[in-house]
Chain A
Amino acid sequence: MREIMFREALVEALDEEMRRDENVFVLGEDIGQFGGSFKATLGLLEKHGPERIRNTPIAEEAIVGAALGAALVGMRPVAELHFIDFATVAMNQIVNQVAKVRYMFGGKARTSLVIRMHGGGGSSAAAQHSQSLEAWFVHVPGLKVVMPSTPKDAKGLLKSAIRDNDPVIFVEHRALYTVKGPVPEGEYTIPLGAAEVKREGSDATIVATSSMVGKSLQAAEELAKEGISCEVVDPRTLFPLDKETILASVRKTGRLLIAHEAVRRCGWGAEMAAIAGEEAFDYLDAPLVRVCAKETPVPYSPRLERLHIPQKEDVAAGVRRLVGVAR
């Protein structure tokens, strides 16, 4: 299969969906000629023109609110907010409007929109450009939250998100944009709410999101050499959550480690842990382990940031603890 970059897969998804449905359009800062802050809309202006690839001023609340307004009257907008940190500026629209209007208005309002953003650290962008805030959105009924970890997933999930009739928060990780991976040539979609087992194993289950999937696979590779067999499950959508796939793995291995780049407290892992406690308690042979960022803002210095962000070594150490191998 051909290999393309994560960001190229996203551009393909947008391109195909814009061809497929004339109601799809994109709005956001610097998405036109400039191609987006990380080139994840590159080339779309030339293909679809400035009416459908719409550059906006710096006004995140207006970007999201306008996307919602257009959705209400029949469009399928894709709003691009760039850094997840900037979504905080648009939180009023996202939380109070986007997530609520269908329900408040007796199920009669159309709210088919996608809000794209990129999160995560690792690039010394410091405290206001490195956060992992995905759990904020998962907490709000009415929103769906997608977090792909591979180019193939990114494309298939973005296409589904655009076709979905609910608002979808689509969280990309900056470190993944230039990562290459196999992506099928033809048309395909990946449904929201379907986890994927990225590696099979029998001793421990690692549930990892976004950038932590790759790190967990690397850790699993190392642990295999020590005779520890890990299963790595990527939920891909944090809500709706494919509990069956995840819990089936937990029941099989009896051990659960949750890895994400967000800080531990009230991170998405807390929800995952609670679900495991409620629905798979009898199968757990050891207290579960969470591998997350330190509970501080993200520091600038590369050395300090590396300490802050969970690394593959932290996942490996967590699994050893989980299976009772002290080192």
Chain B
Amino acid sequence: MAAKVKSKSASRSLSRDDYLRMYRTMLCIRRFEEKTDELFMAGRIKGAVHVSIGQEACSVGVCSALNQDDAILTTHRGHGHSIAKGTRLNEMMAELLGKATGLCKARGGSMHIADISKGHYGAHSIVGANMPMAAGMGLAFQLEGKGRVAVVFFGDGASNQGSFHESMNLCAIWKLPVVFFCENNHYAVSFHVNRSTAVRDISLRAQSYNAPGVTVDGMDVMAVYEATKEAVARARRGEGPTLIEAKTYRFFGHSRGDPQFGPYRTKEEVERWRKRDPLLVAEKMFKVTEAEKKAVQGEVAEEMAVAVEFAEKSPEAPLPSALEDVYA
């Protein structure tokens, strides 16, 4: 059986400042995604945008348990992971707007944010493609011997790719310091997890690789944090990978352009999950006061305004830059 981790309260090892920082980062992700959505609908951001509204506790819970020199790999739905790992909003927003100051020089866009200086090894949008890379990072970290850990974020849908199984096995036989973090938001585009997989909990799949598999409440940032902390400690001790499954939900459509509900899910279902909004859960759990909330909201609004202004004022990416960096 997959273990279930529940957090009823905040952890004893963290301070009030830590909680507020976590809450603040979650709010920052929410606001960033809302702004992204707004700019996309206004035609300012192009291409495909997959916002993570509803899944903020996963990003923040995981990254709060990591050191700066630990590595993450993410997916098409990676803005939240990026922010939680410390990626600067200014350069991220500039990337989305196709500006020269963008993190990836306007070549990557929303689906390919990367900030290697922060241990963020990129958003990879071929579903399942990031997991073998995580194994390789784990291998390098094992050889390096400094106790670094790689965390790979992926979705319920990605857990059906061969690359998931191949990578889990590799990490298990070599006891690589890798955490597989599955955000089970219950859908892969339109396909419900109950129809795409035959197991009740994706964490059960860890059994095939003789690795621990845990299922956590993905709307509860502390549950995610605790489970990740344990998995990271285990990885640092040289005991190999852990598969964490966080049950969560995306409040918006798969990508912008898809409706929030229908044809594959109902309005009622979305509303039911919205009652467990990770921000509300955190406010209650951390007993965030009205004054604290106001202050945090103000700070985040200010930070977002700065980021948008920075991005808007930045020059367009120069045309010749399209031809650079194909080779070293």
Contacts and interface: CB of A to CB of B under 8 A. Distances in A.
Contacts of A277: none
The residue in A58, A128, A300, A303 that gathers the most chain B C-beta atoms within 10 A of its C-beta is A300
A128 B317 contact: no
Binding site secondary structure of chain A: loop
Interface stretch (B5-13, B190-198, B277-285): B190-198
A299 interface: yes
Contact of A58 (B106, B160, B263, B319): B160
A242 B112 CA distance: 40
The residue in B104, B124, B190, B316 that gathers the most chain A C-beta atoms within 10 A of its C-beta is B190
B260 interface: no
Interface stretch (B15-23, B145-153, B320-328): B320-328
B48 A34 contact: no
Contacts of A62: 162
Interface stretch (A25-33, A109-117, A165-173, A278-286): A25-33
B109 interface: yes
B157 A57 contact: yes
Contacts of A85: 126
Contacts of A295: 326
A57 B189 CA distance: 10
Given A33-B190, A58-B160, A300-B112, A294 B322 contact: yes
A127 to B, nearest CB: 7
A37 B189 contact: yes
B108 interface: yes
B322 A126 contact: no
Contacts of B107: 126-127, 297, 299-301, 304
B319 A303 contact: yes
A30 B190 contact: yes
Given A58-B157, A59-B161, A129-B48, A303 B316 contact: yes
A129 B49 CA distance: 13
19 contacts: A30-B191, A34-B264, A55-B195, A57-B188, A57-B196, A59-B162, A124-B46, A126-B47, A126-B109, A126-B111, A127-B108, A128-B125, A295-B326, A301-B106, A301-B316, A304-B106, A304-B322, A305-B322, A307-B319
Interface of A: 29-30, 32-34, 37, 55, 57-59, 61-62, 85-86, 88-89, 123-129, 294-297, 299-305, 307-308
